[in-house]
Amino acid sequence: MGDIRLLVLDLDGTVVGKSNEILPETLETIRTAQAQGIAVAIATGRMYQSALRFHQTIASPLPLITYQGAYIKDPANNRLHKHLSVSRVLAEALLDFFEDPALRRQISVHFYIDDQLYVREITADTEAYVGRSTVQPIAVGDLRSLLNQEPTKVLAQSQDTDLIDELWQTLKQRYFPTDLYLTKSVATFLEATHPQVNKGAAVKYLAEDVLGLQPENVMAIGDNLNDLEMLQYAGLGVAMGDAPAPVQTIAQWVAPSVEAGGAAVAIDRFLLQ
């Protein structure tokens, strides 16, 4: 597959499964790839503070890509490479939309500011989210009280996946891609960030501006719609076996599922042979 010198990994659904840890066989193949001189980076929708432990587990010397690429920071020296936030005007408009009485009881809204999670109230969905992300939510009541600052990301969460799809389609009709980047990292999350944010742009920055590489030097593995741009950018894009159809379609190869150690299979197949 050419000269792959950078491997970029999504976390949840790719190298992190139900255990909320990097699968042991995947970690072994990551370390073998690193020992052969391949740089390994993480690109995730998670908060920086939530993703940091995984970055430390793989001992990556590279900046950590979080919030779909809206927040790129180097843990080694705390240098913030990039931070793109949602404008106050659009954040307020999103709040107006999500706080509609017809929606209010059906969704939980998360505001991310300065790598902290702010919520209106602690709901069952929020508790489930916090259990996996291991962050402490801050309940503030009316989220409009935070609009003196620009959020890194706005997230709407609901177990009603049809509702999430409906809201996604509505917002895509209301806003141009030049207004907001709208995506789903899992079926229950609708996420809004700055329009220049996506994992593809973040990986391009890391590969070309930080490491001096080209797309053909990059292999990326992901499992959901927020990974589309990253897989399209990489010279070798691998989708997980349980990825949605659009993600599998644009990938050069489809690996087994996360619980079957699909990322380890892909790394071994393309980088360790």
Asked if pLDDT for residue 100 goes beyond 90, the answer is no
For residue 213, which amino acid is it?
L
Stretch 231-247: mean pLDDT, rounded? 97
pLDDT tens-digit series, residues 191-219: 999 999 999 999 999 999 999 999 999 99
The pLDDT of residue 130 is above 90 = no
| The pLDDT of residue 226 is above 90 | yes
Q: Which residues pair with 182 in a beta bridge?
A: 192
Asked if residue 19 has pLDDT above 90, the reply is: yes
Kind and range of the H or E run holding 33 = helix 24-35
Burial class (CB in 10 A: 0-12, 13-18, 19+), 108: buried
CB 139 within 8 Å of CB 120: yes
pTM: 0.95
User: Tens of pLDDT along 25-57?
Assistant: 999 999 999 999 999 999 999 999 999 999 999
Provide the β-strand partners of residue 225: none
